[in-house]
Amino acid sequence: MSKDSVKLLNFWPSMFGLRVHYALDLKGVSYDYQEESLLNKSKELLEANPIYTKIPVLIHNGKPICESLVIVDYIDSVWPGSHKLLPEDPYEKAVARFWADFGDKKLYDAGNRLIRAMGEEHKKAGEDFKWALMKIDEALGTIAPGKPFFGGDAMNFADVGLAPFICWFKGYQKVGGFVLPGPEEWPNLHKWVDAVNSVDAIKKSTPSPDKVAEFAEVIRKRVLGAA
């Protein structure tokens, strides 16, 4: 049986790329890693993702798959046996997809504005970011009460969709100039954070929050400097 060729093109601070790392690592899939410089995108990246020219891209046996949640879905289809991420039940699956997508629509969107916006818009970004985390705290309590993950006892598609933002919390708080509420206010969220951070597969590829915060501040300075 010929060996699968699996390669991830990524840029280390990307929470989207981290979703792919998490999916592959939770399933114990071996893969090569290629760091992309976004200011000098490789010919391979441009050919693999001509529509968006963005990371992450997964190249599996020469075929490129783009868009992080599409990639995670693909990984779950190709390697279903070890640590299935998508629930079998259609409704539970839809709930998992909804919260993964919430990561893009609300969490990433607010975080992005925390890095790039000014004045009133910047202040609102902080409020929106906190609102999003509050909603995640509530959702955890509703969907998996008393359990550490959206997936119950193990991470599922929603957990993988949202967990990459955890290592960005420090960075967002720094550029946002606020401190996130603690476990008294968001008990489910903080239990979830601790549970995610305890998973061995997660520790493999998660960048250090300090490094991410440093990166976030560099970008923020450039944004402020250009203003």
Q: Which is nearer to its own copies, 135 or 211 (CB)?
A: 135
Tokens of 35: 């760091």
Q: What is the smallest separation between the CB atom of 97 and its own copies, expressed in angstroms?
A: 5
Question: Which amino acid is present at 143?
Answer: I
**Contacting its own copies within 124-143 (CB under 8 A):** 135
63 touches its own copies by CB under 8 A = yes
Cis peptide bond upstream of 56, omega within 30: yes
**Contacting its own copies within 168-207 (CB under 8 A):** none
Query: Which residue of 20, 45, 55, 71 would you call a contact of its own copies, by CB under 8 A?
Result: 71
On whether the CB atoms of residues 10 and 35 are closer than 8 A, the answer is: yes
On whether the CB atoms of residues 59 and 20 are closer than 8 A, the answer is: no
Which range of residues in 5-13, 30-38, 73-81, 162-170 is near its own copies by CB under 8 A?
73-81
62 touches its own copies by CB under 8 A = no
Residue identified by tokens 């597969």 is 201
Q: What is the smallest separation between the CB atom of 208 and its own copies, expressed in angstroms?
A: 31
Question: What interhelical angle do 68-78 and 15-26 show, nearest 10?
Answer: 10
Element (H, E) at 33: strand 32-35
Q: What residues make contact with its own copies under the rule CB under 8 A?
A: 51-52, 60, 63, 65-67, 70-71, 73-74, 77-78, 90-91, 93-94, 97-98, 101-102, 105-106, 135
